[in-house]
Structure 1
Amino acid sequence: MPHTRNRIKIGRSFGDASESYDVCARLQRFTGKHMLPWLPEKKDLIVLDLGCGTGFFSELLATRYDQVLGADISFKMLDYAKKNRTGNINWTQADAFKLPYQTASIDVVYSNLMIQWCEPIDKALAEIMRVIKPGGIFVVSTLIDGTLHELKSSWAQVDDDKHVIDFHSEKELNAIFNSGSAKKINHFRKDIVLEYENVLHLATELKGLGANQVPKKLSKGLAGKDKWKKMSKNYQDFQEPSGIYPATYSVYSAVMIKLTS
């Protein structure tokens, strides 16, 4: 069960980052807020924040809806959320591939930068659609091919190992999110460039987000000092005149409705 083992590792990695996550979550704040206009204004709905992490957006959703559920694969993230968030939120440890909710029981599923960790995505989508009521919606943001291309290119000149996860393309996600009982009614993609003081700053933020798990990586543990130096030198090709190191995140956001038949 390689996919299951990978999800367990990813859950642990994010759990270890629970205390540092909010400080590092610049991208998550941006993408999460830009999804909000797609949410319905009706208050008496059951809304699930899937991959809720520290509960930042669960708390915000609880100010807008009567019933909010926060689900995450990491116990540590949920423990942090319970201790630091207010509002009437029902927290649950859950795997996106086997959600502990009844079929057709949820009006809205909101998922911010989580589903890229779910492989295969179509299986996770089928489970998400199972729990959504007919006519309900799934609002999601994820990362696609092109993300961290600077880092990927810099490592590619050092060795043939995987240092950045393989993300789906926009075309692939359009097909996945418009299949089965899901009908995609809107989507957009946007490249967001974040600035870093140096390559170590970027690596530290990725670790602080728990996003340093690469399932297809061959060598275990950190890269050797010599390889790291070579990669950092290669990254200088992307350095801006101001001395800032950019990192690109290609963000894909979509809203789907569950077909009634």
Structure 2
Amino acid sequence: MNDPFDRRHVRHAFGRAARSYADASALQREVEGWLLESLMYLDDRVPETVLDVGSGLGGAARAMRERWPKARIVALDAALPMLRAQAPARGRGLLAGLGLGRDIDRVCADAAALPLADNSVDVLFSNLCLQWTGDLAAVFAGFRRVLRPGGLLLVSTFGHDTLHELRHAFAQADDEPHVSPFVTIAQFGDALMQAGFRNPVVERDLLQQPHPDLASLMRSLRNMGATNALQQRRRTLTGRGRFARAAEAYDALRPAPDAALPSSWEIITAMAWAPEHGAPIREGGEEIARFPAQGIPVRRR
């Protein structure tokens, strides 16, 4: 599958947004909290290694460091400035006083090409990162590869109805793509099943973020790094006439003349478990099962 996104542009946009992201990412922090609450399903199990994919400024990684002081916490992000902006987060309390608190390991890499060993992660956490990956099934296959059997997957992404008002407004101005395509909840669940994850629980929520005008919404998107990163995007600036037509079309969506512009965000969250070795995974239209070499019985003569 050809990646619809310009990976270099995605890295640059989020790197540039590192300074403004803390003030612009209230929605991301709210969804992050939802995912962190789901860690209770581990009961009293303490993971050895936790991976936060698309860690941004590291809020979730720090929260999991607080929860599991002895675990190895790895924060992974494709934008190096985001990793550099993460505040140091060493263990606190008695462990820190004894010099036993561990820092967070930071890795600059793409979610679609995790530089981790097979079966090396107990919990994989990813908050609002997957919408920037072109082949969701392939990314989930990579997540399954690094998770140990029985490992927990907690992820979220933007769904199909996200920014549908903005998409409609720009469609009245020209025929160029301005808003990224987002998956439906059915596509998201199918990709999880295709990758072989077990007992997935997928949920959908719709949030609203009002804005006074189109310019305000565009500034907010830029400050959180959510710019148009499509390969087929227009490479020149949006002209005043085109922007004015889009703004006029968006204004028509106000519920009342003095009301704010609606801005919809569909949030898809999922929890699933990595299967045991040998569970099939679909690749290239075929089912493939993988086993660790040490798990293959050898007959000796």
TM-score, structure 1 normalization: 0.94
Distance 1:184 1:177 in 2: 10
Q: Determine the structure 1 residue equivalent to 2:93.
A: none
Distance 1:55 1:204 in 2: 23
Q: Which runs of 5+ in 1 are unaligned?
A: none
Question: 1:1-261 maps to which residues of 2 (within 5 A)?
Answer: 3=3, 6-39=6-39, 40-41=42-43, 42-65=45-68, 66-81=71-86, 84-87=87-90, 88-241=103-256, 242-261=258-277
Task: Return the offset for 1:113.
Answer: 0.2
Q: 1:183 to 1:51 in 2, by over 3 A?
A: same
What displacement does 1:217 show? 3.5
Identity score, percent: 26
Counterpart residue type for residue 61 of structure 1: M
The whole-number CA distance in structure 2 between the counterparts of 1:192 and 1:217 is 28
How far has the Cα of 1:216 moved from its partner? 4.2
Whether the aligned pair in 1 keeps the contact of 2:2 and 2:134 (CA below 8 Å) is no
Structure 1 residues 155-164 or 233-242, which shifts more? 233-242
For normalisation by structure 2, the TM-score amounts to: 0.82
* Deviation of 1:57 (Å): 1.5
Aligned partners of 2:233, 2:109: CA distance in 1, in Å? 28
Bigger mean CA deviation after superposition, 122-131 or 3-12: 3-12
Match of 2:99 in 1: none
Cα root mean square deviation, aligned: 1.7
Shift of residue 4, structure 1, vs aligned partner: 9.4
Q: 2:77–2:83: 8 Å Cα contact kept in structure 1?
A: yes
| Pairwise CA distance, 1:185 | 2.3
Q: Deviations over 1:83-140 (max 9, x none)?
A: x242321001111222121100100000000011011111111111100000001100
Q: Distance in 1 between matches of 2:11 and 2:234?
A: 20
Q: Which moved more, 1:123-132 or 1:238-247?
A: 238-247
Contact 1:13 1:213 in 2 (8 A): no
SS at match of 1:195: coil
**8 Å Cα contact 1:56-1:85 kept in structure 2:** no
Distance 1:243 1:5, change over 3 A: closer
Determine the C-alpha separation between the residues in 2 that align with 1:4 and 1:231. Answer: 24
1:145/1:100 CA distance change after superposition, 3 Å:
same
Residue 187 of structure 1 aligns to a residue whose secondary structure is strand
Decide which moves more: 205-214 or 239-248.
Answer: 239-248
CA positional deviation for 1:243: 2.5
Bigger strand share? 1
AA aligned opposite 1:257: W
Gaps of 5+ in 2: 91-102, 278-301
